Amino acid sequence: MKASSVIGIVIGMITIALGAIMEGAPVMAVLNPSAMLIVLGGTFGAVMTGTSMGAIKNIPVLFKKSFSSEAPDLNARVTELVSYAEQARRDGLLALDEQLADIEDPYTRKGLQLVVDGTDPDLVADVLEAENDAMRKRHGAATQPFEKAGGYAPTMGIIGTVFGLIHVLSNLSKPETLGPSISAAFIATLLGIASANIVYLPIAARLKQLSQEELHFRGMTLEGILAIQAGDNPRVVAEKLMAYVPPGLRPTEEEAAAAADAAKAAKAEKAEAA
């Protein structure tokens, strides 16, 4: 499920290039230095004006993230949280203390740490929700440069083309250069529209989607942590959390039982090894 963004950009570029070659258009003419300077430089400048240095430096990280992030595994998290609920129910909330060091996800660990410390439930919810809220804002700010670039690039293309046409119109006396000159002027428009619609806007959409998935994942985790703290029956915890899993991904009863057994076996093994 990993590489859909990379594949998407490659498909977009190849099909458009192939189509252009079939039309007989000189595809490589796109790599026009003046058009690239205007469109890429102008877009970068406009994006930079509208944001902070920190967000600019973050752009390569986000590019990479949009290409490689996997979907969070909701079922695994449900199984994990239900196993904590069982243990808490059996041995008390304090029994979770030993497990804390083994929890990989910092959000889950922070939440259960607060629970084990005997923090008030409302405060646990407040702290974890503040964390989610801050993440949501952070992601929103991080996605903005891509969205903005998607808006600026086509207009930068038009600026490049209008400059080109102004040049052409001032030299109408040499009609034999007219065609190629106008054609070169349009390269900028092409670059602006293509970069926006093949790269910037889709990447922005992808980052937004990743953010929503992570918020959904964390929302489920928060619900589970609060249910554990409230001492809910593990079956009720599972019922509550299952609402967050899309029906198509929900395990059948056998799968659920198998997953629970596997989780127990793994835990027993770990205990033995210790």
| Residues numbered 95-124 forming contacts with a second copy, rule: CB under 8 A | 114, 119, 123
Q: Which stretch binds a second copy (CB under 8 A): 44-52, 83-91, 92-100, 255-263?
A: 44-52
Give the residue among 185, 198, 204 at the shortest CA–CA distance from 38: 185
Which residues 136-155 are close enough to bind a second copy by CB under 8 A? 137-138, 141, 144, 148, 152, 154-155
In 147-259, which ranges are E strands?
none
Which residues 158-187 are close enough to bind a second copy by CB under 8 A? 158-160, 162-172, 178-180, 182-187
Q: How far apart are CA 166 and CA 159, in angstroms?
A: 11
Q: Kindly state the tokens that stand for 52.
A: 């902070």
- Does 28 contact a second copy by CB under 8 A? no
Helix 74-91 vs helix 201-229: crossing angle, to nearest 10: 10
For 199, residues 6+ apart whose C-beta sits below 8 A from its C-beta are: 9
Closest to a second copy by CB, 212 or 265: 212
CB atoms within 10 A of CB 200: 22
Closest to a second copy by CB, 83 or 195: 195
- Does 252 contact a second copy by CB under 8 A? no
Q: How far is the CB of 110 from a second copy (least distance, A)?
A: 8
Q: How far is the CB of 37 from a second copy (least distance, A)?
A: 4
Determine which residue in the list 31, 41, 92, 262 makes contact with a second copy, applying CB under 8 A.
41
Which whole-number Å values give the CA distances from 61 to 49, 66, 146, 207, in the listed order?
20, 9, 12, 11
- Does 269 contact a second copy by CB under 8 A? no
Q: How far is the CB of 183 from a second copy (least distance, A)?
A: 4
Closest to a second copy by CB, 21 or 94: 21
Which whole-number Å values give the CA distances from 264 to 113, 161, 233, 243, 260, in the listed order?
22, 65, 18, 23, 6
Which residues 50-69 are close enough to bind a second copy by CB under 8 A? 50-56
Q: How far is the CB of 144 from a second copy (least distance, A)?
A: 8
Q: How far is the CB of 114 from a second copy (least distance, A)?
A: 8
Determine which residue in the list 47, 59, 82, 125 makes contact with a second copy, applying CB under 8 A.
47
Q: How far apart are CA 80 and CA 66, in angstroms?
A: 27
In b/e form, how buried is each residue of 90-113, taking b as 16+ CB within 10 angstroms? eeebeebeebeeebeeebbebbbb
Q: How far is the CB of 92 from a second copy (least distance, A)?
A: 22
